[in-house]
Amino acid sequence: MREWTREERYRVLESPEDIRALYERIRQSDYRQLYHVQPVTGLSSDPNGFALHRGVWHLCYQWCPWGAVHGLKYWYHVTSPDLVHWSNAGIGLAPDRDYDNRGAHSGSAISRGDELVYFYTGNHRDEDWTRTPYTCAAVMGDDGRPKKLDAPLFGPRDDHSEHQRDPKVVWNPDKQAYYIFIGAQTLDKRGCVMVYRSRALLEGWEFAGELKVPGYEAFGGMWECPYITRIGGKDVLIFSPQYTKLPGRGESTNHNVYFIGRMDYDTLTFTPDGPFRHLDYGFDFYAAQGAFIPDGDPDVGILMAWIGLPDNHYPTEEEDWEGSLSLPRELRVANGRLIQTPIPAVKALRGAELPAEGALPAACALEVGCPGDDFELSLFTRADGSGGLRLRYDAARRVCTVDKRGMDKRFNAQVGEVLDMPLDAPLTKLEIYADRSSVEIFANDGEATFTTHLYPTGREFNYTASEGLDVHIWPMARSVTDEFVV
């Protein structure tokens, strides 16, 4: 693993030419994705500023241009007509002000008339590296160039620690007010959400209070990227708690969870209907963000996440890049849980169905009908059927276990290479999307999902399936451009 000095990680991008050679090199990688958003160079992490604005989907990702390292963060901007075909659009926000001198950290967007308004965290650091997180805004008009406000909307409060970031802005029609949810940490290091309120979007913000979530007063040390949305008449709280291990999740201390319940904006209390659930049971899924959709369907949300975790390292580090965004998912609420399905338009990327005995293309979709009994399915095995990403279903426990230890390229072994995806109903169907360096598994039409990076080598292209499984395979076409736009 390469050691980076602070100067190297926090170098300011002066010109696109600074990274052109890096781009030319990494675009040759066998692991560049065909239909997932990925970093133009360097590292991509959280989805930011995700919104439908005047008929175009806008999305940014946290971007460190220099390599597979968390250093100076930019927002890199991609756009899409349909959430499937994405084009690089260049830098969305650069850390070019004093108030964001060490990074334009995560945030969200809201579309208002002709303007798309970004809210983000200005990660300011003094010479002595003391951090001050500011909540900042930028307005993008017709020319497509966001203009930052001269000053932040508000600074941090001293009744919480320096961890106050990731503004997610929402409009609440009942209260006729905007709210910003901020991921935060109390002074005694408990994770929480701070809530701000304003009647106007770009002024008048006041601290409304800390969100109360009864039963979860001490749950992790920081809640990153929180937000509350309403789907199908239910309130949903999604966030990424960190600095804590959770049962059944190996040694990882980073998670992405949700509650379904009721949000009371008068008392700022989110009352969960039941215990938290994992948004995704995979090895790599974090910082999920719901899209702002003007006049969206009240029963369906759209969400994307970072395929990756904060403290993890991935094999493409050697090639000076890492990260990818998940497929966009539709969210619905049913039976007290979120149902997550790939947006239907993804199916249009499927080519002609392949013979079931053949090899797996690196980018492929699978649909697997399961009889409800125990089974095994191993993807990207060697020609003789050994190794691979192994899925084992235990019908008695209704648990699907995913084991990545058989792959040639092993990574993040210290946090665990085997995880369970528990199910409420017997497993009857899997829908799987593999790209060149990721796999997303949707069980029982979205009852549970499992996302992981995966880096098959040249000899890992086969699969094996227990008798009785009905396997269908399609190659997937490219839908992201991999062009040098900076």
β-pair type (257-264, 269-272): antiparallel
E strands, 173-273, where?
Answer: 177-186, 191-198, 206-210, 222-231, 234-242, 257-264, 269-272
State which residue, 106 or 452, has the beta carbon closest to ligand FRU. Answer: 106
Shortest Cβ 312–ligand FRU spacing (Å): 11
State which residue, 45 or 316, has the beta carbon closest to ligand FRU. Answer: 45
State which residue, 309 or 469, has the beta carbon closest to ligand FRU. Answer: 309
Interaction pattern, residues 309-338, with ligand FRU; x per rule: CB under 6 A: -x----------------------------
Shortest Cβ 319–ligand FRU spacing (Å): 21
The binder of ligand FRU chosen from 73, 77, 168, 197 (CB under 6 A): 73
Burial of 303: CB neighbours in 10 Å, binned 0-12, 13-18, 19+: buried
Query: What gap in Å lies between CA 98 and CA 165, rounded to an integer?
Result: 17
Shortest Cβ 83–ligand FRU spacing (Å): 22
Site residues for ligand FRU, 356-415, by CB under 6 A, read none
Task: Give the dihedral of Cα atoms 28, 30, 35, 40; nearest 10 deg.
Answer: -40
Interaction pattern, residues 152-171, with ligand FRU; x per rule: CB under 6 A: -------------xx-----
Q: 3-state DSSP: the chain helix, strand, coil percent, rounded to 5?
A: 5, 50, 45
- Which amino acid is located at 56 in the chain? V
What number of other Cβ atoms are within 10 A of residue 147's Cβ? 12
Count of alpha carbons within 13 angstroms of residue 304, beta-carbon side: 27
Query: What gap in Å lies between CA 14 and CA 67, rounded to an integer?
Result: 16
Query: What gap in Å lies between CA 178 and CA 165, rounded to an integer?
Result: 17
Q: How far is CA 331 from the centre of its chain?
A: 14
Tell me how far CA of residue 338 lies from CA of 239, 242, 302, 481, in angstroms. 14, 21, 12, 31
What number of other Cβ atoms are within 10 A of residue 459's Cβ? 13
Is 253 near ligand FRU (CB under 6 A)? Answer: no
Interaction pattern, residues 275-294, with ligand FRU; x per rule: CB under 6 A: ------------x-------
Catalytic residue among 18, 46, 126, 295: 46
Is 435 near ligand FRU (CB under 6 A)? Answer: no
State which residue, 52 or 72, has the beta carbon closest to ligand FRU. Answer: 72
State which residue, 64 or 364, has the beta carbon closest to ligand FRU. Answer: 64
Site residues for ligand FRU, 193-212, by CB under 6 A, read none
State which residue, 183 or 328, has the beta carbon closest to ligand FRU. Answer: 183
Interaction pattern, residues 41-70, with ligand FRU; x per rule: CB under 6 A: ----xx---------------x--------
Shortest Cβ 64–ligand FRU spacing (Å): 8
Residue 205 near residue 196, CB atoms below 8 Å: yes
Site residues for ligand FRU, 215-244, by CB under 6 A, read 224-225
The answer to whether residue 284 is catalytic is no
Shortest Cβ 308–ligand FRU spacing (Å): 8
Is 106 near ligand FRU (CB under 6 A)? Answer: yes
Residue entry with tokens 């700022």: 268
Task: Give the dihedral of Cα atoms 64, 65, 68, 72; nearest 10 deg.
Answer: -30
Shortest Cβ 127–ligand FRU spacing (Å): 21
The binder of ligand FRU chosen from 38, 121, 229, 289 (CB under 6 A): 121
- List beta partners, residue 87: 79
Residue 240 near residue 45, CB atoms below 8 Å: no
User: Which are the contacts of 127, defined by CB distance < 8 A and separation ≥ 6?
Assistant: none
Shortest Cβ 348–ligand FRU spacing (Å): 31
Active site residues: 46
Using CB under 6 A as the criterion, which residues of the chain lie in contact with ligand FRU when the complex forms? 45-46, 62, 73, 105-106, 121, 165-166, 183, 224-225, 287, 310
